[in-house]
Amino acid sequence: MITKPVLAALLLVMLLPGRHVYAGQGADSLSIKIGQMLMIGFRGLAIEDAPEIVEDIRKHHIGGIVLFDYDVPMKSPVRNIANPEQLGKLTVGLQGISDIPLFIAIDQEGGKVNRLKASKGFPRTVSALHLGNLDNPDSTIAAARKNALTMRAGCINMNLAPVLDLNTNPDNPVIGRLGRSYSADPAVVTKHALLTAAVFREEGVIPVFKHFPGHGSSTTDTHKDFTDVTVRWTEKELEPYRAMIDAGYDDAIMTAHVFNRRLDSRHPATLSKKTLDLKLRNQLRFEGVILSDDMQMQAIAGHYGLDESIRLAVQAGVDILLFGNNTAYDPAIADKASSILHRLVREGSISKNRIDRSYQRIMKLKERFIYYCK
């Protein structure tokens, strides 16, 4: 079990100022602020293959991109990642066309959820479950270091990991069966997630804890449909978040699309003001960036229109709206999302002050971490 002094010491390491500070552009237009709230997925192994994402960066000022190794709609292994050399050229090229440095994000958890695969020339990885079962800090640190150095070599500055979900349902099709959770014990999860995140930060990679308020107890997959965790979910699933936030963690947390009547009887967590603003912001006191899970997953897209889901997510407290473009593919999604946000501001459904708060949190995180990679 991790002790409070050890927890505090690790968080101190995690919260040291970044070595590469971005001074900012002094940008203040609404278009740029809205653009920074969007993270978009795309098709292409090179910039020349992806005119849509180039336009999204230059015209819509999107703040981040997310990379995949497999194109789900096309059932194709050709997406964004072919080998280390190609990946580096792609990411450096994308950064080069953006006035504000991009978050370049990936799901590199290790084990089965692993975008940088050995078959494409990257180092092998192990799962969170494997590390939790070993329960050896040195093993976890070594695995995290290997992952972080691989990402940094590819100029990836954000990892959508580690997972804080508890392995309360080993038959969970999207968490337990894939070995994505360290343990059913929140103390074990906290210890290994914290060790992993500390190493990521040391190497200039932003850790993103997920999936708040807990996906480990689900019995269905939010990629495919509505997922209700009300019966199985317990407050215990909040313990890893509470421990780290209490110790000062303020980087980024990703939401879950799960429906939990104990927290909100109307909306899933990503769209729930009670879950994000009341629970995560006000009760747990999280001050960092809130990142949505993919807004095109069927738990959201299958039950809400695009306008409504964007409005509810931002009103709930989401700072970055993630459109992975890998459940469904829409080359115009950045344009659509940007237009919707502009209209919601004009209509008064979302205030300029609300946009400003997200922009400030996003830029604070970029200033702490983003470095120019060559």
Catalytic residue numbers read 223, 293
3-state secondary structure the chain: CCCHHHHHHHHHHHCCCCCCCCCCCCCCCHHHHHHHCEEEECCCCCHHHCHHHHHHHHHHCCCEEECCCCECCCCECCCCCCCHHHHHHHHHHHHHCCCCCCEEEECEEECCEECCCHHHCCCCCCCHHHHHHHCCHHHHHHHHHHHHHHHHHCCCCEECCCECCCCCCCCCCCCHHHCCCCCCCHHHHHHHHHHHHHHHHHCCCEEEEEEECCCCCCCCCCCCCCCECCCCCCHHHHHHHHHHHHCCCCCEEEECCCECCCCCCCCCHHHCHHHHHHHHHHHCCCCCEEECCCCCCHHHHCCCCHHHHHHHHHHHCCCEEEECCCCCCCCCHHHHHHHHHHHHHHHCCCCHHHHHHHHHHHHHHHHHHCCCCC
